C-alpha cells in the first residue's frame, strides 16, 4: 500500500523497520498539500521548515530507541489549538496574525508522542458554523465535489484527510463539528466523553460543550490517536482525573450480543431517502455480525437545536468578550476613544455568524430573559441527558444518521441560518449530554457523495464504539474509498 493511503499502524510499521523516515513521510504529505491545497483550501498555515525539523527529531528518537507507537507519523491540527510559534487564527480576522506563545494540552500530547505537525487546518470562524464557509480565510472545498461544502466547523481537517493531504488530524466538536464534516467528507471522526480530553489551550466557543477529538480514515486510526490525546490536565477544571485507557484493546471483539439502539426520532420526517437507506443497510450488516437492533426513544431530542442555540451563544458571548483589541489580536486602526475602539474592533474583527451568536447570547443572558430562555434551556438539557440514560438501560450503543443529508452546495444555505443549523439535528444531543459520539462512512448517495453513520455511546464507552465501528469497517470498504481525480 502507498504512503498516501496507508493507515496509521502501517505507517508506524514502515517507520519502525526503516522502510521510510519521518522526514521522507512528512515531505510526502507536504508535497501533496502544496499540490492540492490551492484547490481545496484545507490548510490556513503550513511551515515546512518547522514540520521537517519535528520529523528529524522523530527520526532521532527512533534511532535512539525512545520512540512511541506513532513517533514520526505526521498529523494536521485544527487551527483552534494554540501551538507555540505557529500562527493560531481560529479562522477569524480577529486572530489572523496571532502567533501562540504556548502549546495547548492536545498539542503537547502529540509533541510528546513524536508526531510532527503538517500545519493548521481551516475552520469556521471560532468554530461557529456547519459548512466551513464562515472562515475569514475562505471556504474549504469538499474533495468529493469541489462545488460543495465539507461540513464544519472542522471542515479543513476533514477535507485534508479525504484528499490524502494528511493521514489524520485533530478536530473539535461543540455540536457536531467533528462528526458532521466526517460524514460529508467520507472519513471517521470521534467526539470523546466531555472532559476526557483537556480543553487547555483550545480557544473556547462554548465551554460546557467543546470537546477535542481525533479525525482519520478508520476507527482503528482514531483509537490510536485517542490513546495519545487523552489524559488528566490540572490546568483544565473540567478535565477528568481517571486512568488512561488503551482504546485499541477491544477492536477485535466479536459483536455477538451487542444491543444497538435505534431512536425512532432519528428516522422520522426530514431524513434524506439515500441516507436512510444507507443507515438501514449498515444496521443489516451489523446484524450479520451478531448485533441485535432495539428500538429506543429520545423524546426530547427534537428540542436539542433550540436548546443548543440558547446555551452555546450564551457561553460564546462570555468567552469572546476577551477579544477587545487591548491585549492581542486585531485592533481597529482608527477610533476616537476606548469605547469606540472596542466597538470598531469587534465590528471589524468578527464575521457575521459570530456577531449573530454573540448578540443572541447577550440577549438570552440579559435581565428579564435569563429565566425565560437560559434557565429553561438548562432544564431541557437535563431531560435530554435523562432520555439517553433511559435508552442505555436497554442498549449498548445508539445508532443513526450523522446528518439529515449529504454535502450541500457552497452558498446554498448561507442566507438561511436556521436551515444551516438543522444540519446538526442528530449530533447536538450527544454534546448536550456530554456523551461520546462518532461518525463513520456507510455509503454514498445518488450523486456519489459520502453518507455518515453515527454511533453514540454511554459515558466512557469509546472503546465499545470503536469496536463496533472497527468490526463494521472490516466487513465493508466505504472508509477506504477516496475521491477520484486526486493523484
Q: How far apart are alpha carbons 209 and 434 in whole angstroms?
A: 7
Cell numbers standing for residue 467: 469496536
SS3 (DSSP) at 417: helix
Q: How far apart are alpha carbons 143 and 148 in whole angstroms?
A: 9
Q: How far apart are alpha carbons 376 and 358 in whole angstroms?
A: 19
Q: How far apart are alpha carbons 2 and 4 in whole angstroms?
A: 5
What is the CB-side half-sphere exposure of residue 79 using CA atoms within 13 A?
A: 35
Cell numbers standing for residue 263: 431512536
Q: How far apart are alpha carbons 427 and 175 in whole angstroms?
A: 6
Nearest to 71 by CA among 108, 28, 111: 111
CB 439 within 8 A of CB 453: yes
> Measured on CA atoms in the order 180, 437, 248, 476, is the torsion positive or negative?
negative
H-helix segments, 170-240: 179-185, 219-229
Cell numbers standing for residue 301: 431530542
Contacts of 425 (CB under 8 A, 6+ apart): 270, 304, 305, 403, 404
Q: How far apart are alpha carbons 369 and 362 in whole angstroms?
A: 10
Catalytic positions: 78, 153, 177
Q: Which residue spans within 354-474 are E strands per DSSP?
A: 397-401, 437-444, 450-457
Q: How far apart are alpha carbons 379 and 209 in whole angstroms?
A: 16
What is the CB-side half-sphere exposure of residue 419 using CA atoms within 13 A?
A: 8
Cell numbers standing for residue 465: 464504539
Nearest to 262 by CA among 301, 228, 230: 301
SS3 (DSSP) at 215: strand
H-helix segments, 230-351: 273-288, 304-319, 338-349
Q: How far apart are alpha carbons 109 and 112 in whole angstroms?
A: 5
Nearest to 453 by CA among 407, 402, 403: 402
Q: How far apart are alpha carbons 292 and 277 in whole angstroms?
A: 18
Amino acid at each position: 500500500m502507498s504512503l498516501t493511503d496507508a493507515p496509521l499502524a502501517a505507517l508506524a510499521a514502515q517507520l519502525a523497520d526503516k522502510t521510510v523516515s519521518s522526514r521522507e513521510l512528512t515531505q510526502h504529505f507536504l508535497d501533496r498539500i502544496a499540490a492540492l491545497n490551492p484547490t481545496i483550501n484545507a490548510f490556513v498555515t503550513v511551515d515546512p521548515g518547522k514540520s521537517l525539523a519535528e520529523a528529524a527529531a522523530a527520526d532521532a528518537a527512533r534511532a535512539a530507541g525512545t520512540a512511541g507507537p506513532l513517533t514520526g507519523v505526521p498529523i494536521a491540527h485544527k487551527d483552534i489549538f494554540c501551538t507555540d510559534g505557529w500562527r493560531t487564527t481560529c479562522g477569524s480576522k480577529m486572530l489572523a496574525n496571532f502567533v501562540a506563545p504556548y502549546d495547548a494540552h492536545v498539542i503537547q500530547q502529540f509533541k510528546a508522542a513524536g508526531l510532527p505537525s503538517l500545519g493548521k487546518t481551516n475552520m469556521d470562524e471560532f468554530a461557529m458554523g456547519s459548512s466551513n464557509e464562515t472562515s475569514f480565510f475562505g471556504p474549504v472545498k469538499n474533495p468529493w465535489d469541489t462545488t460543495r461544502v465539507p461540513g464544519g466547523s472542522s471542515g479543513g481537517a476533514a477535507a485534508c484527510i479525504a484528499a490524502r493531504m494528511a493521514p489524520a488530524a485533530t478536530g473539535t466538536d461543540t455540536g457536531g463539528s467533528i462528526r458532521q464534516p466526517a460524514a460529508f467528507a467520507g472519513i471517521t471522526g470521534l467526539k470523546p466523553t466531555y472532559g476526557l480530553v483537556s480543553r487547555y489551550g483550545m480557544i473556547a466557543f462554548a465551554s460546557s460543550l467543546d470537546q477535542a477529538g481525533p479525525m482519520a480514515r478508520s476507527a482503528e486510526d482514531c483509537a490510536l490517536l485517542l490513546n495519545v490525546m487523552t489524559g488528566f490536565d490540572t490546568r483544565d477544571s473540567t478535565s477528568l482525573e481517571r486512568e488512561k485507557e488503551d482504546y485499541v484493546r477491544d477492536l477485535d471483539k466479536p459483536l455477538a450480543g451487542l444491543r444497538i439502539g435505534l431512536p425512532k426520532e432519528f428516522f422520522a420526517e426530514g431524513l434524506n431517502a439515500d441516507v436512510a437507506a444507507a443507515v438501514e443497510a449498515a444496521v443489516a450488516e451489523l446484524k450479520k455480525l451478531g448485533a441485535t437492533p432495539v428500538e429506543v426513544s429520545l423524546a426530547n431530542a427534537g428540542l436539542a437545536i433550540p436548546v443548543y442555540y440558547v446555551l452555546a451563544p450564551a457561553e460564546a458571548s462570555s468567552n469572546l468578550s476577551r477579544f477587545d483589541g487591548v491585549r492581542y489580536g486585531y485592533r481597529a486602526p482608527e477610533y476616537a476613544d476606548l469605547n469606540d475602539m472596542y466597538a470598531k474592533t469587534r465590528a471589524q474583527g468578527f464575521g457575521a455568524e459570530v456577531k449573530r451568536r454573540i448578540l443572541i447570547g447577550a440577549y438570552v443572558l440579559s435581565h428579564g430573559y435569563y429565566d425565560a430562555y437560559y434557565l429553561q434551556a438548562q432544564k431541557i438539557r437535563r431531560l435530554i441527558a435523562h432520555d439517553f440514560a433511559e435508552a442505555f438501560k436497554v442498549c449498548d450503543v445508539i445508532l443513526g444518521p450523522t446528518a439529515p443529508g449529504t454535502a450541500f452546495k457552497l452558498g446554498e444555505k448561507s442566507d438561511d441560518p436556521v436551515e444551516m443549523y438543522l444540519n446538526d439535528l442528530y449530533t447536538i444531543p450527544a454534546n448536550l449530554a456530554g456523551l461520546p459520539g462518532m461518525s463513520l462512512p456507510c455509503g454514498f448517495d445518488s450523486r456519489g457523495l459520502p453518507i455518515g453513520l453515527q454511533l453514540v455511546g454511554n459515558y466512557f464507552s469509546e472503546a465499545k464504539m470503536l469496536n463496533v465501528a472497527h468490526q463494521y469497517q472490516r466487513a465493508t470498504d466505504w472508509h477506504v474509498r477516496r475521491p477520484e481525480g486526486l493523484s
